[in-house]
A = this chain, B = another copy of it.
């Protein structure tokens, strides 16, 4: 099964594509969609939608796994939630089934405990995908962690 994991944001959207077969998981792609902070919010979200459509067309995932948020307190996170809406809408336009996981559930699925730190999650991602070097940047690694959670929790 091919799974697209997404770590949403406005400045950076992390993405990771994995392929699963039996007990083996392989990384096909990972990276970030980066948007220019000097441009208006709306144009940045147009860019996110466009790049995400290209990723979906290129990799044809069967499932999308997206990190979920619960609480927001600053005006900065409002921009992140808005961008997340654009991500969810764009995935839905392709008829992709979407699963969503809060950070604690992702940590739990990958390391066995919900309060794991970043390094423990990163090590688990590398182990599960048989990677010799850590995926960079962090948002791409986070997106792979969400994709793996989508697989483990199916």
Contacts and interface: CB of A to CB of B under 8 A. Distances in A.
Interface of A: 40-43, 45-46, 48-49, 69-73, 75, 78, 81-86, 88-89, 91-93, 98
Q: Is the interface of A mostly helix, strand, loop or mixed?
A: helix
A40 B85 contact: no
A20 B82 CA distance: 30
Given A72-B72, A98-B40, A45 B88 contact: yes
A72 B82 contact: no
Contact of A82 (B40, B48, B85): B85
A42 B86 CA distance: 9
A91 to B, nearest CB: 6
B85 A46 contact: no
A148 to B, nearest CB: 21
Contact of A92 (B40, B73, B78, B88): B40
